[in-house]
Amino acid sequence: EPEDLLKTRPPIVTIMGHVDHGKTSILDYFRKSKVVSGEAGGITQHIGAYQVIHNDQEITFLDTPGHAIFSDMRARGADITDIVIIVVAANDGIMPQTLEAIKHAKKAKKTIIVAINKCDLPSSNVDRVKSQLAENGLQTTDFGGDTEFAEVSALTGKNMEDLLELIALQAEVLELKANPKATARAAVIEARVVPGRGTTATVIVESGTLKVGTPFICGPYAGKVRSLINDRGAAIKSAHPGMPVEVIGFEELPNVGDHLTEMKSEREAKSLASERQEAQRLVRLKPQHR
Ligand code: GTP
Ligand code: NA
Ligand code: MG
């Protein structure tokens, strides 16, 4: 990629941790919204993708359900994630899903930031959480380690600005860049059929600019961007690198983890789609040898 075409892009930050440790609440606080209260039983069922503006810089967050199987999660967000926030409730301490999240974030060599949440609770025990995390390879910079910690409360807002600042600093270190003029490419993080809207997918733009009218290929299917809806539910005309956006215009339900790639024309998209479908058919027809 020619250096001068690269522009700084927002970091993609995935929030992980045990069930009910406050992942969605942290995002709600940043967005001044109330996603949690709209969730059935307060349980996150899917990955939400949202942007927050901090000092004029965009930060893209992926919310994840605490109960999800991590391998599934990984297919969804891990390959595009820059920074993982491990959320641990200060009263509960580390739990099985916390350990899972740490293990996978480390394995994928992601930058990790720890948010010790619920620090407002009288039953919170931050020192205990810190030593539990140290035992699992996450040592706070306060004690000579290399992991940034924030002691927060999504309820009262305590140290929440500090957490955003830590994310912004880590993003700066990572020097994240993308070319907004390149061929558009986006990763599918979620796909579903929405009554009245049809097949839709939430994607994160990786490079280029996704525009209404853009023909594309996604896995073995062609499509054309009919509309783009941002994280606040507003229709938009285009989406730049790092931006999460809901795309309407898929021919078929795409697979999570697939990448959508801009094509020059609908005709080219369709012809590539039939090539790919034919290739898949041949694979299926091939006699299976033991
Ligand atoms: P899953 O998505 O189901 O894994 O949960 P989550 O990690 O997104 O947790 P969620 O944000 O749904 O919060 C769980 C409960 O903890 C809710 O009742 C929140 O109101 C509460 N909670 C979240 N953050 C705080 C906090 O900082 N302090 C206190 N006291 N309660 C909190
Ligand atoms: Na919850
Ligand atoms: Mg949640």
Ligand 2 centroid, distance to 266 Cα (angstroms): 42
Residue 79 backbone zone (phi > 0: left; psi -120 to 50: alpha; other: beta): alpha
Catalytic residue status for 240: no
List the catalytic residue out of 67, 240, 259, 289. Answer: 67
pLDDT tens-digit series, residues 246-265 = 999 999 999 988 999 999 99
36 compared with 115, residue with greater pLDDT: 115
pLDDT of residue 232: 85
Say if the ipTM goes beyond 0.95. yes
Q: What is the pTM of this model?
A: 0.93
What mean pLDDT, rounded, does the chain reach? 91
Q: Please say if the pLDDT value at position 179 is more than 70.
A: yes
pLDDT at 63 over 80: yes
Mutate to test the pocket of ligand 1, among 36, 117, 156, 158 (most ligand atoms within 8 A of CB): 36
Cβ distance 14 to 74 under 8 Å?
Answer: no
According to the model, what pLDDT value does residue 41 have?
72
pLDDT at 69 > cutoff 60: no
Interval 4-54: pLDDT, tens: 899 999 999 999 999 999 999 999 999 886 666 777 777 777 778 999 999
Residue with the two structure tokens 């901090």: 54
**What pLDDT band is residue 86 in, cutting at 50, 70 and 90?**
very high
Q: What are phi and psi of 68, to 5 degrees?
A: -70, 155
Q: Check the annotation: does 127 bind a ligand.
A: no
pLDDT at 14: 93
Kindly state the average pLDDT of the residues 61-76.
70
Q: Answer yes or no: is pLDDT of 98 > 70.
A: yes
pLDDT at 9: 97
**DSSP string over the chain:** --GGG-EE---EEEEEESTTSSHHHHHHHHHT--HHHHSGGG---S-EEEEEEETTEEEEEEE--TTS-HHHHHHHHGGG-SEEEEEEETTT---HHHHHHHHHHHHTT-EEEEEEE-TTSTT--HHHHHHHHHHTT--BGGGT-SBEEEE--TTT-TTHHHHHHHHHHHHHHHT-EE-TTSPPEEEEEEEEEETTTEEEEEEEEEES-EETT-EEEETTEEEEEEEEE-TTS-EESEE-TT-EEEEEEESSPPPTT-EEEE-S-HHHHHHHHHHHHHHHHHHHHSPPP-
Asked whether residue 289 is marked as a ligand-binding residue, the answer is no
Ligand 1 contact via 48 beta carbon (within 6 Å): no
User: How much is the pLDDT for 4?
Assistant: 81
Bigger pLDDT: 197 vs 16:
16
For residue 33, the ligand closest to its alpha carbon is 1
